[in-house]
Copies of this chain bind each other. A is one copy, B any other.
Amino acid sequence: MMLPVNDARTFKSSIPLELDCGKNIPRFKLSYETFGELDAEASNAILIFHALSGNSHVTRKSQNIDAGRGEAGWWEFMVGPGRPIDTGQYFIICANVLGSCYGSTGPSSLNPRTGKRYCLDFPIITIHDMVRCQARLLDSLDIDTPLAVIGGSMGGMQAIDWALSYPWRTRGIIPISTTPQSSPQSIAFNEVGRRAILADPRWRNGHYYDDGAPPDDGLAIARMIGHITYLSDQSMRQKFGRRVQNGNSLFQHLCSEFEVESYLSYKGSSFTKRFDANSYLYLTKAIDYFDVNSDSRYWNKTKMRQTFLERMKALVISFTSDWLFPSYQSKQLVHVFKNLHVPVSYCEIESSYGHDAFLLETEHQGQLLNDFLRNLKDDH
């Protein structure tokens, strides 16, 4: 169930990690990749955070692109030589988050205290716990202050947490398609997905790793629900309409007659080949817990914090058809930054792609990021 990505390196920390839940883990590892070259002042680093089902493979290694080698990354069009986040200018770091299953420590890892896999003994984690680990990774790379932290969706929550927890540790923040606070509707969708996993008899209280029969039915259903929330009513009408699979006639089966049904079914089942059900439980909980307003860490108004917050720059981006983390939530995030006196720009981009737009909309989004990063760099 551990799926380290090719070319990824592993950062290992053996200092115990204290977590928001009050528990700790004695050590952890993060799988990560870097792209481009760090300059002599370590001033051109950009930390990119991935979303729920992502990993460290944000793009291909630059040297392989022309040769077509290596699997495309999850933000391939955005990160690379000459692309909006230009690996010719910046040193990009992307790490698989704590709790995930792409080479970082999570519920499928061995618990050093027992010699067995954690399964549900893995402690509950938060977005801030993920970010704590990445701060240690940057320490190990001798990078005090990245030029910017960037992320979409759950990655955007990490970017927010990084900037508000360690305001001296970034000069720019770009949260995209995200929210300062998970809404009850998004919690509800995550909860139904978790219920589907727990109801799968093969889940067996999280102990399924060593018998070769993971709770694929439950995880597939969870992913199907998630996938609907990543698209939009409009994009589904454009993409599928009411077309019937293979031109068959209707009124034949209780399942999968329409193309949209078989598409979702395919997305659900292919997800089970690349993701761990327990990781899905832990990461969706971390998303649900995220609430900028209720976390006193963010609102601690020391003079030093305030100085750094006022020096920071934020660019908030949302997409018109995103109904999972709708634009009104990005506007709430803008207000959070304003209350903290962080200079902030906001752009709502017209798109029919729904929540997935941050992974698909190239032009306008790319231009915004490119301009923002160039200004940050020039200001320095």
Contact = CB atoms under 8 A, between A and B. Distances in A.
Contacts of A282: 254
B21 A291 contact: no
A195 B255 contact: yes
Nearest to A227: B188
For A218, A261, A291, A294, the residue with the greatest tally of chain B CB atoms inside 10 Å of its CB is A261
A228 B187 contact: no
A265 interface: yes
Nearest to A234: B185
Contacts of A75: none
Give the interface size class of chain A: 35 or more
B289 A192 contact: no
A147 B135 CA distance: 71
A270 interface: no
For A195, A224, A228, A265, the residue with the greatest tally of chain B CB atoms inside 10 Å of its CB is A195
Contact of A195 (B189, B224, B233): B224
Given A184-B240, A218-B199, A251 B22 contact: yes
A183 interface: yes
B242 A217 contact: no
A297 to B, nearest CB: 14
B250 A289 contact: yes
For A22, A218, A254, the residue with the greatest tally of chain B CB atoms inside 10 Å of its CB is A254
Copies of the chain in the assembly: 2
Contact of A184 (B196, B220, B242): B242
A209 interface: no
A329 to B, nearest CB: 10
A187 to B, nearest CB: 5
B201 A221 contact: no
A71 interface: no
A207 to B, nearest CB: 14
Nearest to A125: B251
A94 to B, nearest CB: 27
A231 B184 CA distance: 11
Interface string A135-151: 00000000000000000
B285 A254 contact: yes
A120 interface: yes
Given A187-B258, A191-B265, A192-B264, 11 more contacts: A181-B242, A183-B236, A184-B239, A184-B240, A184-B241, A187-B242, A191-B261, A192-B221, A198-B254, A254-B282, A258-B288
16 contacts: A21-B251, A126-B251, A182-B242, A183-B233, A184-B237, A189-B228, A191-B255, A191-B256, A192-B221, A192-B225, A195-B220, A199-B218, A242-B294, A250-B289, A251-B289, A258-B288
Nearest 10 interchain pairs by C-beta: A21-B251, A199-B217, A184-B236, A184-B260, A191-B261, A184-B240, A124-B251, A192-B224, A185-B233, A188-B228
